[in-house]
Amino acid sequence: MKYVDEFRNPELISKTAEEIRRLVDPQRHYRIMEVCGGHTHAIYRFGLKDILPANIDLIHGPGCPVCVLPMGRIDDGLSIAAKSDVIFAAFGDMMRVPGTQGSPLEHKARGLDIRIVYSPTDAIKLARTNPDKHVMFFAIGFETTAPSTALTLMRAKAEGLKNFSVFCNHVTIIPAIRAILDSPDMRLDGFIGPGHCSTVIGCRPYEWIAKNEAKPIVVCGFEPLDLLQSIVMLLRQMRNGEAKVENQYKRVVPWEGNGAALRAMGEVFQLRPYFEWRGLGFISQSALRIRDTYADWDAEQRFSIPGIRVTDPKAAQCGEVLKGVLKPAQCKLFGRECTPENPVGALMVSTEGSCAAYYNYEHRKGNLVSLTATA
């Protein structure tokens, strides 16, 4: 409860929660997917499901880039890091993610040159200051992050930097949503759309969800009030039998997205024919590769990559959790073999993964921030 007094507009939160209760049809069961891992984290941290009516089920979507990265890609990246003159640079989020032979951090302890960077441009800086080494940046992320990698590659090319490359694992959000909607065991009533990813792609790419799939989607911010307001907007559409794309996060997300970011992505990346997602399997045109015009800076073209494929342990039911068929705690490994300290499955790896969020805030009942006092 310690954050309760910090919430903005407690009266408004209370009124919005009341509005939700007014809008729900008690006869109906609502299944709403929040696509973005940041929203999953926020929903658990703020204990939002405690103030939602019991017949609203929030299903946690695929939008955690660390979680959906197949273990084989980590092994592939580390195989490059094992070369004698290579510095492997990655965001801190990647450091504890296990490959089959351990995480990047464990490889660092074994003597590989592995560095945390907080920006891809700092990987360029590392390359400039280590001219006798090759710096490989291990890139992950959705469209939120991909433009930064693209601009970094454009700067490296413009500078003629020879000892720098990117191992590209960028994925795209729309095909993942499509794969989930195409899944036969999936029934969803609407989507809470990603916030910062939409800053780049805008709201237009979601229109097919409304038009072709007849599902409402509301692009949403990260505060408790944002999430509650987005649920109100979704419920209103459902009550009126509508399916539209709406933007609750207008203060940050322009409808058309960020043109400069999209141009940079178009200059540097092209779609891969298919890419493997942990928990979801292969999804066509769901990831980015570096264009041949940037081949000199593409780690996959510069180095021979073993192309390792690792199947997740059969007992881990990440796919079912990712599609909302199972709740995290219903997986056989949850909280026993699979914990945030020792993750077996993808969704336990990052704090934005639904299993890790569930474990940290529900299972442990620690750190939980409750809104119930104000709502």
Partner 1 sequence: MCLAIPGKIVEITGDETHSALVDVVGVRRRVDLGLLQDDPPKPGDWVLIHVGFAMSKISEKDALDQMRTLEMLGEAEAALQEVRGYGLEDIEKGLVN
CB of 250 to partner 1, least distance (A): 10
Q: Which is nearer to partner 1, 150 or 333 (CB)?
A: 150
Q: How far apart are CA 79 and CA 235, in angstroms?
A: 49
CB of 170 to partner 1, least distance (A): 12
What residues between 173 and 202 interact with partner 1 by CB under 8 A?
194-197, 199-200
Q: How far apart are CA 213 and CA 87, in angstroms?
A: 46
Nearest by Cα to 236 from 4, 49, 91, 23: 23
Q: Is 260 in the site for partner 1 (CB under 8 A)?
A: yes
Query: How many residues of this chain bind partner 1 (CB under 8 A)?
Result: 60
Q: Is 41 in the site for partner 1 (CB under 8 A)?
A: yes
Q: Is 36 in the site for partner 1 (CB under 8 A)?
A: yes
Q: Are the CB atoms for 186 and 324 separated by under 8 Å?
A: yes
What residues does 57 pair with on adjacent strands? 31
Q: How far apart are CA 4 and CA 159, in angstroms?
A: 50
Binding mask 335-354 for partner 1 (x = CB under 8 A): ---------------x-x--
Length reported for the chain:
375
Taking CB under 8 A as the binding criterion, the range among 161-169, 252-260, 271-279, 316-324 that sits at the site for partner 1 is 252-260
Nearest by Cα to 141 from 200, 207, 221: 200
Q: How far apart are CA 288 and CA 307, in angstroms?
A: 16
Q: Is 65 in the site for partner 1 (CB under 8 A)?
A: yes
In the chain, the N- to C-terminal Cα span, in Å, equals 12
Binding mask 199-228 for partner 1 (x = CB under 8 A): xx--------------------xxxx----
Rounded CA Rg of the chain: 21
CB of 222 to partner 1, least distance (A): 5
What residues between 70 and 129 interact with partner 1 by CB under 8 A?
91-93, 115-122, 125-126
3-state secondary structure of 322: helix
User: Could you tell me which residues come within 8 angstroms of residue 11 by beta carbon, excluding any fewer than 6 positions away?
Assistant: none
Q: Is 168 in the site for partner 1 (CB under 8 A)?
A: no
Residues contributing to the site for partner 1 (CB under 8 A): 3, 6-8, 36-38, 41-42, 45-46, 63-66, 91-93, 115-122, 125-126, 140-142, 144-145, 147-148, 151, 154-155, 194-197, 199-200, 221-224, 251-252, 254, 258-261, 264, 350, 352, 367, 369
